[in-house]
Chain A
Amino acid sequence: QTVVTQEPSLTVSPGGTVTLTCASNTGAVTSAYYPAWFQQKPGQAPRALIYSTSNKHSWTPARFSGSLLGGKAALTLSDVQPEDESDYYCVLYYGATWVFGGGTKLTVL
């Protein structure tokens, strides 16, 4: 069974920088997994932030960036704002299906 793993929770101070990661139990995550990232706030549908590792949607703030880091997909938030407090989900492509990670709850404190 394919499992995608994210940090369950992270805390960052306003103005700081934080990196969320996304790992696969099948091995190193590469661009062939087309990593994508979503932000979800309570009571809302998930909002797409990043696709194909590092591409931003038109509405994605510049402080969000995607990359590959140490065999994982990564989402880096720079100059974190209070409104960035949210759940973040990565999703990876496995040929004929996608698998979501368990999500990271980001607290801005």
Chain B
Amino acid sequence: QLQLQESGPGLVKPSETLSLTCSVSGGSISSHTYYWGWIRQPPGKGLEYIGFVSYSGGTYYSPSLKSRLTISVDSSKNQFTLSLISVTATDTALYYCGRLGSYLSEVDWGQGTLVTVSS
């Protein structure tokens, strides 16, 4: 059974880079069938799509975050990472990593990790 586990700092200073890792177990990140990426949810607010990538290199980023965002896959560690530069308080959120099938025919999420942007 697929399991996804987010990890990374819970506190990031404004203007710095938010980096999170999603470790994948029970499945291979090298599969060409799936997309790997992130959504987030600010406290008390709705879901926001961040972006997903395919193992073959296709990127599907939110236009509003694209200029600050990099999602990369590391097949040797069976994990993928999120890097968001120049963060502000508006980037404070619960971040979920996920695996998506084509057009959301399959959806798996991690448990989520809270990241707070504050000095």
Mark A residues whose CB is within 8 Å of B. Answer: 1-2, 34, 36, 38, 40, 45-46, 48, 51-52, 55, 57, 87, 89, 91, 93, 96-103
The size of the chain B interface, using a CB distance under 8 A, is: 20
* In the complex, B11 has a CB within 8 A of chain A: no
CB-based contact B103/A52 at 8 Å: yes
Min Cβ gap B52→A in Å is 8
CB-based contact A51/B104 at 8 Å: yes
Q: Enumerate 18 A-B pairs (CB-CB under 8 Å) in ascending A order.
A: A2-B63, A34-B103, A40-B47, A45-B96, A48-B104, A51-B103, A51-B107, A52-B103, A87-B46, A89-B46, A93-B103, A96-B60, A97-B49, A97-B60, A100-B46, A100-B49, A101-B46, A102-B46
Interface residue SS majority, chain B: mixed
Mark B residues whose CB is within 8 Å of A. Answer: 39, 46-49, 51, 60-64, 96, 103-105, 107, 109-112
Which chain A positions have C-beta within 8 A of B103? 34, 36, 51-52, 93
CB-based contact A46/B47 at 8 Å: yes
CB-based contact B46/A103 at 8 Å: yes
CB-based contact A100/B47 at 8 Å: yes
CB-based contact B105/A55 at 8 Å: yes
Which chain A positions have C-beta within 8 A of B109? 45-46
Besides A45-B112, A51-B107, 4 more A-B contacts (Cβ < 8 Å) are: A46-B109, A89-B46, A97-B49, A98-B104
Are A34 and B111 also in contact (CB < 8 A) when A40-B47, A97-B61 are?
A: no
In the assembly, what is the distance between CA of A46 and CA of B47, in Å? 9
Which chain A positions have C-beta within 8 A of B49? 91, 97-100
Chain B minimum-CB-distance residue to A99: B49
Min Cβ gap B36→A in Å is 14
Selected from B48, B60, B104, B110, the residue in CB contact (under 8 A) with A34 is B104
In the assembly, what is the distance between CA of A36 and CA of B39, in Å? 15
Min Cβ gap A69→B in Å is 20
CB-based contact A103/B104 at 8 Å: no
In the assembly, what is the distance between CA of A82 and CA of B116, in Å? 34
Are A91 and B63 also in contact (CB < 8 A) when A45-B96, A97-B49, A100-B47 are?
A: no
